[in-house]
Structure 1
Amino acid sequence: MAITWALTFDCNAPVEQANFWKVALDYVDAPPPPGFSSWGDWLIKCDVPEDEWNDGAVICDPTGDGPQISMLRVPEGKTAKNRIHLDLKVGLGRDQPTHLRQQRIEEKAGQLMNLGASELERHFINGELDHVVLADPEGNEFCVV
């Protein structure tokens, strides 16, 4: 049996990062753990000091297929290029008609730049757009493919 896993982003503004990635991935706020009617109830049960309640945020795939993603406040900022990144596969593969892939990539990249992402690079194959490298509002690189 495979191990259940989640992805965690270290960040300075967990709620803002969660809001960005909810749009990027079509995710939603994660419900509280089973047996709890709210995240506040869970935080109290786990003896988390009230001044730390905004130090994290959790989002999930509404279908339950994708991994849960947590945002965790840390004091330091990002200092180097990611060694791992997400590919948002909105183009649906290189076997798709080029004009449709490019349209999907451009639309998603534009939507995310309107939410605070920055464009870092564009990559082309045979003169056609293949993918766009963006950075989220805290500088984490990812690709729109």
Structure 2
Amino acid sequence: MELQLTIDCADPPRLVAFWSEALGYVPEPPPGGHASWRAYWAEMGVPEDELTGGAGETPESIVPAAGVGPRIWFQRVPEPKTVKNRVHLDLRAGGGRQVPLAVRTERVTARAEALVRAGASVLRVMDEPEMDYYAVVLQDPEGNEFCVV
């Protein structure tokens, strides 16, 4: 059994670009030697009217560059995000509790700043030195929450 993570969104190409950068993934190439995703979907029998408006023109999924990790599919949906996520990703940039808090804080801050430059926005910083904990809660370009820890 394989795992695929699916993220509902309005603009799959935008999230493909952002999450490729955030995770070190790459846009998934069309399967089976097809020249494009559009050609693949057409061969699979998807009606032409469903391939309008850019559907099938660009990848809507990303895969790990190193081949380890789940495929992530960005599923176009008509409704906007309206509530807090019930599931979110933690990007582990700090190195774990065996690394001194000051070093983890530096690493997490640097990664969060890079993700802001890539299109994320900061929701809050969780700075709790008495608990030996530091994390930054961000949103991707469509408002999906995730943490850098």
Q: TM-score, normalised by structure 1?
A: 0.89
* 1:72 to partner: Cα distance: 1.4
Report whether the alignment pairs 1:61 with 2:64.
yes
Which of 114, 127, 136 lines up with 1:132 in the alignment?
A: 136
Gapped regions of structure 2 (runs ≥ 5): none
How far is the alpha carbon of 1:54 from its aligned partner? 4.8
- State the shift of 1:75 in Å: 0.6
**d(CA) in 2 for partners of 1:35, 1:134:** 37
- Identity %, equivalent residues: 43
Write the mapping of 1:1-145 to structure 2, written as runs, cut at 5 A: 3-34=1-32, 36-48=34-46, 49=48, 50-51=51-52, 52-54=55-57, 57-126=60-129, 130-145=134-149
Shift of residue 125 of structure 1?
2.4
Query: What do residues 23-64 of structure 1 show as CA deviations (whole Å, max 9, x unaligned)?
Result: 110111112223535323311111223313258611110111
Counterpart Cα distance in 2 of 1:55 and 1:74: 16
* Structure 1 portions without partners, runs of 5+: none
RMSD: 1.8
Matching residue's letter, 2:140: D
Q: Which amino acid in 2 is paired with 1:136?
A: D
When residues 55 and 80 of structure 1 are mapped into structure 2, their CA distance, relative to the original with a 3 A threshold, is farther
- CA offset digits 1:101-139 (Å, max 9, x no partner): 111111111111112211111112225661000011100
Secondary structure of the structure 1 residue equivalent to 2:32:
coil
CA gap of 1:54–1:38, structure 2 versus 1, over 3 A, is closer
Are 1:105 and 1:131, in contact at CA under 8 Å, matched by a contact in 2? yes
* Aligned residue identity for 1:42: Y
